[in-house]
Amino acid sequence: MKIHEYQGKELLKKYGVPVPLGIAATSAADAIAAIPKVQEQAGTEVVVVKAQIHAGGRGKGGGVKVAKTRADAEAAVKKIFGMQLVTPQTGPEGKKVQRILVEQGLAIEHEYYLGMLLDRATARVTVMASVEGGMDIEEVAAKHPEKILKQAIDPATGWQDWQSRVLAKQLGLSGKVAGELAKFLRSLTRCYEDMDCSMLEINPLVTTKDGKVLALDAKINFDDNALFRHPELEAWRDPNEEDASEQEAKKWDLSYISLDGNIGCMVNGAGLAMSTMDIIKYYGGAPANFLDVGGGATAEKVTAAFKIITSSADVKAIFVNIFGGIMKCDTIAQGVITAVKEVGLKVPLVVRLEGTNVELGKKMLAESGLNILAASDMADGAQKAVKAAKEAR
Amino acid sequence: MSVLVGYDTKLVVQGMSGSAGAFHARQMVEYGTRVVAGVTPGKGGSKVEGLAQVPMFDTVAEAVDQAGANTTVIYVPPPFAADSILEAAAAGIQVIIAITEGIPARDMVKVKYVLDHEYPGVVLVGPNCPGVITPGQCKVGIMPGYIHKPGGVGVVSRSGTLTYEVVGQLTTLGLGQSTAIGIGGDPVKGTDFIQALEWFAADPGTSSIFMIGEIGGDSEERAAAFVKANIKKPVAAFIGGQTAPPGKRMGHAGAIISGGKGAAADKIAALQEAGIAVSPTPAEMGKTLAKLLG
């Protein structure tokens, strides 16, 4: 799960991580009203107007403006609010800006990069830092991996202050600022652990002329598997950032991702679901979605999944590809039959069943009277679905 | 011959009173697996439907002491699964197979740390995996038993259903399997490719290997380097998620292309460079190995 920068900063502040003073707004009027408040509370003319969307690279797309006066700041809000912000991470269509953060400007001494994530190779959460802060950290990582400093967290002890001292030395920080960094990292690592983060990125982390260390940006992702421990995070979901079908799927605990094609897919197992997308493309088609109904799905869940697929007008054919293990073929059959009875079937349906209770599943589908194209295996099913989608156009 | 599970396996099922645990315990018994005990806290002494011959205990320690269990399979829900894994290790279980999907990464980091340091001899397979099967001898997990056939192909896979897919194809082509190991799709897991490859390399009953990877992480690249340096047996492979868009988590917590890393193309290139035959589509996995074997 992803959250906005301003939400991330709110969370960091709760953990004692220093962040600039700022006010978030969900309308242009509120954002404009926030400008003098930020100026007054921070005691500075300069403010930064930042578009709040989940994608990174906002500065490059014109979604972040430093304003030296109130008038400049108002102009920036008017320009940014409602704009279709295109960044390297949004895709060409961009994302509409519907939230803005107005923040105090700072007298920055230097910008650093700071990131935390789970390093799979070592199975440890790792803090990464670099003097090359700012926008192009991916490029630094690719071209100069030695410039990314790393400290892994020992699961038995948690983050230790000596690790901050080592990083400070490597980053060229000393004295009061080094102490500030240690405090910063102590709080930040505690937040990561407590909140079951899966990624936490501060880019840039800044030192100011008066010796402070602050998080100028905050990108936080949470481990979806641990959301049950943090029900309060639900309030931070932004429906505008999530696809409607993906939200509906989430309600049913289905793993669903919308894609650009026209062949709706219902598959059990993430690996098989990905490979089903691959083989549809291989035979010249395009998947409309990734959908893993999971292992322990009930017939109701399968029905919900089927409805989500058929609700898209783009879908011209449906390919159900099941190799049952924990998932039983009769459960799939029951779910599909119920869904079709409730919402009808307007496009060709190709079904490939194999695995646990396969005979029962096939029998149920055959006796249901539904118009189903049976597939003998995955390749056969993919080819039939691609052909059906092409003929429908 | 076999790897991890076989005739000597005496299995305890953790979470046997749950619906998934009970269903699959019955399937395993039917396959011929020696299911010697079930464990669900608070259900000790009770009976699970269709499994009247299998004693239920409150703790894994009792299953080890009273029923002689040496291997466990875990169907416990995600919030309690890490606890169940550690309980099994503490009770002296040597092979822990965790089926549970959706365990928080923070829990697994701690579990892995404790297993590595306190129980270096204990093998964990999974979590979020289909389990391990030695066809004809012992099935531990959720895979459909009937698609398997005893033989010489060692299978190791990050994906459950894709494992069934390759096994189904191999069996159809007359190629039986020595053991099929599902290592699971999570970023922090027990057994990884390299360990499984080491076992297959040492197993006289395994004459060739099929490996199924997917996008995300770099364990396929590391496995490729290991195969190149250490494995003399023929190896074929498939990588799932070749058309997956970057930045989207494809179901498995581990399957995400991030920071330009973990893309299928890089993995396929690394495998091919190591002399591994890579199947172009998931429908040709069996054929790819058959062709390699000549």
The predicted complex's ipTM stands at 0.89
pLDDT at A94: 87
Q: What is the token pair recorded at A177?
A: 């600022």
- For chain A, state the CA radius of gyration: 25
> Mean pLDDT across chain A, nearest whole number?
92
| Chain-chain contact of A123 with B108 (C-beta, under 8 angstroms) | yes
pLDDT at B217: 85
Strands (E), B56-186: 56-57, 71-74, 95-98, 123-125, 131-134, 138-141, 150-157, 177-182
Q: What is the token pair recorded at A206?
A: 């800044």
First to last CA, chain A: 36
pLDDT in tens, chain B (294 residues): 579 999 999 999 999 999 999 999 999 999 999 999 999 999 999 999 999 999 999 999 999 999 999 999 999 999 999 999 999 999 999 999 999 999 999 999 999 999 999 999 999 999 999 999 999 999 999 999 999 999 999 999 998 889 999 999 999 999 999 999 999 989 899 999 999 999 999 999 999 999 999 998 889 999 999 999 999 999 999 999 998 887 666 666 566 655 557 889 999 999 999 999 999 999 999 999 999 998
| H or E segment to which residue B269 belongs | helix B264-273
pLDDT at B1: 59
pLDDT for residue A222 is more than 70: yes
- What is the tens place of the pLDDT at every residue in A12-37? 999 999 999 999 999 999 999 999 99
Encode chain A in three state secondary structure. CECCHHHHHHHHHHCCCCCCCEEEECCHHHHHHHHHHHHHHHCCCCEEEEECCCCCCCCCCCCEEEECCHHHHHHHHHHHCCCEECCCCCCCCCEECCCEEEEECCCEEEEEEEEEEEECCCCEEEEEEECCCCCCHHHHHHHCHHHCEEEECCCCCCCCHHHHHHHHHHHCCCHHHHHHHHHHHHHHHHHHHHCCEEEEEEEEEEEECCCCEEECCCEEEECHHHHHHCHHHHHHCCHHHCCHHHHHHHHCCCEEEECCCCEEEEECCHHHHHHHHHHHHHCCCCECEEEECCCCCCHHHHHHHHHHHHCCCCCCEEEEEEEECCCCHHHHHHHHHHHHHHHCCCCCEEEEEEECCHHHHHHHHHHHCCCEEECCCHHHHHHHHHHHHHHHC
List all residues 6 or more positions away from B179 whose beta carbon is below 8 Å from its beta carbon. B2, B3, B4, B5, B132, B133, B134, B154, B155, B200, B203, B206
Cα-flanking dihedrals φ and ψ of residue B123, to 5°?
A: -100, 125
| Chain-chain contact of B165 with A274 (C-beta, under 8 angstroms) | no
Which of residues A42 and A295 earns the better pLDDT score? A42
Give the SS3 label for residue B108. helix
| Chain-chain contact of B105 with A196 (C-beta, under 8 angstroms) | yes
Q: Looking at the partner chain, which of A125, A193, A271 has a beta carbon nearest the beta carbon of B240?
A: A271
Lowest mean pLDDT among A288-292, A382-386, B208-212, B243-247: B243-247
- What is the tens place of the pLDDT at every residue in A92-146? 888 999 999 999 999 999 999 999 999 888 899 999 999 987 656 667 777 777 8
Q: Which single residue is written with the structure tokens 């700022």?
A: A22
Q: Do you find a cis peptide bond into B204, omega within 30 degrees of 0?
A: no
Q: What is the token pair recorded at B193?
A: 């490719």
Interface probe, candidates B142, B161, B171, B218, chain A, greatest A C-beta count within 10 A: B161
Q: Which A residues, 172 through 231, put their C-beta within 8 Å of a C-beta on chain B?
A: 193, 196, 198, 223-226, 228-229
**Contact indicator for A374, B276 with CB cutoff of 8 Å:** no
Which of residues A369 and A288 earns the better pLDDT score? A288
Rounded to the nearest angstrom, the minimum Cα separation between A39 and chain B is 37
**Contact indicator for B178, B203 with CB cutoff of 8 Å:** yes
β partners of residue B141: B131
pLDDT at B255: 64
Q: How many beta carbons lie within 10 A of that of residue A120, not counting itself?
A: 19
β partners of residue B237: B211, B278
Q: Is A289 on the interface with B (CB under 8 A)?
A: no
Per the annotation, the verdict on B252 as an active-site residue is yes
The span from the CA of B244 to the CA of B264, in Å, is 9
pLDDT at B35: 98
pLDDT for residue A165 is more than 70: yes
**Contact indicator for A177, A213 with CB cutoff of 8 Å:** yes
**Cα nearest neighbour of B157 on chain A:** A271
- Residue B245, Cβ density class (10 Å: 0-12 exposed, 13-18 middle, ≥19 buried): middle
Encode B176-201 in three state secondary structure. CEEEEEECCCCCCCCCCHHHHHHHHH
Average pLDDT over residues A232-253: 86
**Contact indicator for B37, B60 with CB cutoff of 8 Å:** no
Q: What is the token pair recorded at A179?
A: 């102490």
Q: Looking at the partner chain, which of B161, B249, B260 has a beta carbon nearest the beta carbon of A272?
A: B161
The span from the CA of A374 to the CA of A358, in Å, is 13
pLDDT at A250: 83
- What is the tens place of the pLDDT at every residue in A312-365? 889 999 999 998 877 888 998 998 898 888 888 889 999 999 988 889 999 998
A140, A224, B90, B248, B261 from B257: Cα distances, Å: 18, 16, 36, 7, 6
pLDDT at A91: 76
Give the catalytic positions of A in this structure.
Answer: 113, 201
Chain A residues in contact with B18 (beta carbon < 8 A): none
Options B24, B117, B148, B252, the catalytic residue? B252
pLDDT at B256: 62
Produce one character per residue of B210-219: b if its CB has 16 or more CB atoms within 10 Å, e if not.
bbbbbbbbeb
Q: Do you find a cis peptide bond into A204, omega within 30 degrees of 0?
A: yes
The span from the CA of A43 to the CA of A103, in Å, is 12
**Contact indicator for A264, A312 with CB cutoff of 8 Å:** yes
Q: Is A329 on the interface with B (CB under 8 A)?
A: no
The angle that helices B193-202 and B219-230 make with each other, rounded to 10 degrees, is 20
pLDDT for residue A168 is more than 80: yes
Q: How many beta carbons lie within 10 A of that of residue B167, not counting itself?
A: 28
* Cα dihedral sign, A273-A278-A282-A284: positive
Chain B residues in contact with A267 (beta carbon < 8 A): 161
DSSP letters spanning B23-42? HHHHHHHHHT--EEEEE-TT
Interface probe, candidates B13, B147, B243, B279, chain A, greatest A C-beta count within 10 A: B243
| Chain-chain contact of A279 with B215 (C-beta, under 8 angstroms) | no
Q: Is A10 on the interface with B (CB under 8 A)?
A: no
The span from the CA of A335 to the CA of B72, in Å, is 32
Nearest-CA neighbor of A201 among A213, A185, A217? Answer: A217
Beta strand B131-134 with B138-141 is antiparallel
Chain A residues in contact with B160 (beta carbon < 8 A): 269, 271-272, 295, 325-326
Average pLDDT over residues A143-169: 93
The span from the CA of A108 to the CA of A105, in Å, is 9
